């Protein structure tokens, strides 16, 4: 009765990594219990998660190096295995909410989220590429688009492009306040998506800035975002809090790979009680104001809730 914050499996979105091929289940060493799956095996994993009460997933593609190019053209290619996987998963499990990643980096030979020319990220030239990718994902049946690229103006550009293409029902969870963080390391290793040159500081936010998050949020909100995300989560609880206080749409947070890896490592060393520390971390993100949390702990948390 006096507990102020409720945390349940319903608040969680489970990230899954997929790669092209058959019978693949490769564990990501820095995220034990998380795997790169091929389509035929990911279906059983999703079913297992559904049985634990998880009904929201975000799907990230690992793309073979030889399919990457400067314009990320594979991201909307007709024979793209990720788009096919979206269609198969949604057909198999129409009841789940499936979220995508919209950014160039998994498909870009430069490993950046935008188009690179002479070492500079070209913001406006990137937008039509993101729009093609988004329409292709919407066409495949994705429920929620997740633009993680941080180009300026992309939410409005994507919303217009989607509406014109007939996908007004596809929603957008904007990566609104995404910081240039060191905590993305294990994710980039899992997908082989690290930038080949330079860093992402010209488009991702400076960890020192809080008021700037309000500017980013104001833009995404005006441009038509349905939900706004803060990323990472635990080092940015104050950012989650101010967005929740200032905007009346759902606020989500990404409990990123590096944050989870710290707890996994402590568990392996016997330094922390895994279930207790993982639950406390998720609760703190909820308490800060996140309605939804993207977290690699989703499945273990669901098992923990079920068994306790």
- 306 is known as an active-site residue: no
Q: Does 105 bind ligand PBG (CB under 6 A)?
A: yes
Contact (Cβ atoms closer than 8 angstroms) between residue 284 and residue 237 = yes
CB closer to ligand PBG, 98 vs 256: 256
Shortest approach of ligand PBG to residue 2 CB, angstroms?
34
With binding defined as CB under 6 A, does residue 148 bind ligand PBG? yes
Exposed (0-12), middle (13-18) or buried (19+): which is 154, by Cβ within 10 Å?
buried
Binding of ligand PBG at residue 113 (CB under 6 A)? Answer: yes
- Write down the residue that tokens 């700037």 correspond to: 212
Q: Specify the stretch interacting with ligand PBG by CB under 6 A; choose among 74-82, 166-174, 184-192, 222-230.
A: 184-192
Would residue 178 show up in a list of annotated catalytic residues for this protein? yes
Q: With contact defined as beta carbons under 8 Å apart, do 96 and 46 qualify?
A: yes
CB of 90 to ligand PBG, least distance (A): 21
With beta carbons less than 8 A apart as the criterion, state whether 221 and 250 touch: no
Q: Is 119 left (phi over 0), alpha (psi -120 to 50) or beta?
A: left
Q: Please pick, from the candidates 103, 129, 213, 242, the single residue that binds ligand PBG as defined by CB under 6 A.
A: 103
**17 belongs to the binding site for ligand PBG (CB under 6 A):** no
Residue that has been written with the tokens 């992402």 in this structure: 200
Question: How far apart are CB 92 and ligand PBG at their closest, in Å?
Answer: 24
Q: How far is Cα of residue 105 from the mean position of the Cα atoms in its chain? A: 13
Binder to ligand PBG among 34, 171, 257, 279 (CB under 6 A)?
257
Rounded CA-CA distance 261/266 in Å is 8
Closest CA to 178 of 128, 131, 212, 224: 212
Strand partners, 224: none
CB nearer to ligand PBG: pick between 103 and 145: 103
Give the Cβ contact number of residue 295 at 10 Å: 25
Query: 18, 233, 256, 302: which one contacts ligand PBG (CB under 6 A)?
Result: 256
Tell me if 301 sits within 8 A of 295, measured CB to CB: yes
- Using CB under 6 A as the binding rule, the residues of this chain from 189 to 228 that contact ligand PBG are 200
* Catalytic residue (one of 56, 68, 200, 231): 231
Nearest CB to ligand PBG, comparing residues 196 and 270 = 196
Q: Which is nearer to ligand PBG, 188 or 241 (CB)?
A: 188
**Candidates 35-43, 99-107, 132-140, 153-161; binding stretch for ligand PBG (CB under 6 A):** 99-107
Comparison of 166 and 186: residue with beta carbon closer to ligand PBG: 186
Is 187 a binding residue for ligand PBG by CB under 6 A? The answer is yes
Dihedral of alpha carbons 22, 25, 30, 33, sign: positive
Kindly indicate which of the ranges 17-25, 163-171, 180-188, 265-273 contains the residues binding ligand PBG, using the contact rule CB under 6 A: 180-188
| Catalytic, out of 178, 200, 244, 299 | 178
> To which residue do tokens 């913001």 refer?
123
Number of H helices, E strands in the chain: 10, 12
The contacts of residue 258 (CB under 8 Å, 6+ apart) are: 181, 182, 183, 184, 185, 186, 187, 232
176 binds ligand PBG (CB under 6 A): no
- Residues that contact ligand PBG, how many (by CB under 6 A): 11
Q: Which residues bind ligand PBG (CB under 6 A)?
A: 101, 103, 105, 113, 148, 184, 187-188, 200, 256-257
- The catalytic residue positions are 178, 231
């Amino acid at each position: 009765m006096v507990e102020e914050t409720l945390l349940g499996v319903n608040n969680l979105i489970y990230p899954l990594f997929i790669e092209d091929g058959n019978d693949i289940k490769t564990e990501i060493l820095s995220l034990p219990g998380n795997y790169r799956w091929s389509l035929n095996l990911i279906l059983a994993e999703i079913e297992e998660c559904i049985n634990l009460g998880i009904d929201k997933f975000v799907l990230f593609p690992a793309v073979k190096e030889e399919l990457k190019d400067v314009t990320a053209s594979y991201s909307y290619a007709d024979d793209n295995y990720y788009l096919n996987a979206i269609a198969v998963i949604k057909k198999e499990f129409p009841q789940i909410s499936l979220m995508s990643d919209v950014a160039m980096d998994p498909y870009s030979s430069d490993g950046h989220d935008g188009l690179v020319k002479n070492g500079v990220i070209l913001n406006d030239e990137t937008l039509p590429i993101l729009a093609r990718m988004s329409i292709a994902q919407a066409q495949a049946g994705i429920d929620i688009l997740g633009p993680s690229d941080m180009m300026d103006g992309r939410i409005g550009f994507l919303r217009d492009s989607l509406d014109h293409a007939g996908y007004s029902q596809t929603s957008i969870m904007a990566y609104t306040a995404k910081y240039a963080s060191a905590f993305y390391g294990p994710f980039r290793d899992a997908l082989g998506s690290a930038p080949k040159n330079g860093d992402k500081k010209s488009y991702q936010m400076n960890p020192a800035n809080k008021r700037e998050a309000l500017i980013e949020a104001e833009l995404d909100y005006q441009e038509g975002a349905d939900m706004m995300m803060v990323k990472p989560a635990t080092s940015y609880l104050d950012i989650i809090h101010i967005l929740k206080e200032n905007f009346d749409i759902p606020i989500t947070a990404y409990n990123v790979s590096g944050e989870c890896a710290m707890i996994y490592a402590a568990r392996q060393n016997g330094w922390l009680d895994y279930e207790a520390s993982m639950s406390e971390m998720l609760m703190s993100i909820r308490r800060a104001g996140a309605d939804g949390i993207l977290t690699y702990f989703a499945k273990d948390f669901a098992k923990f809730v079920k068994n306790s």
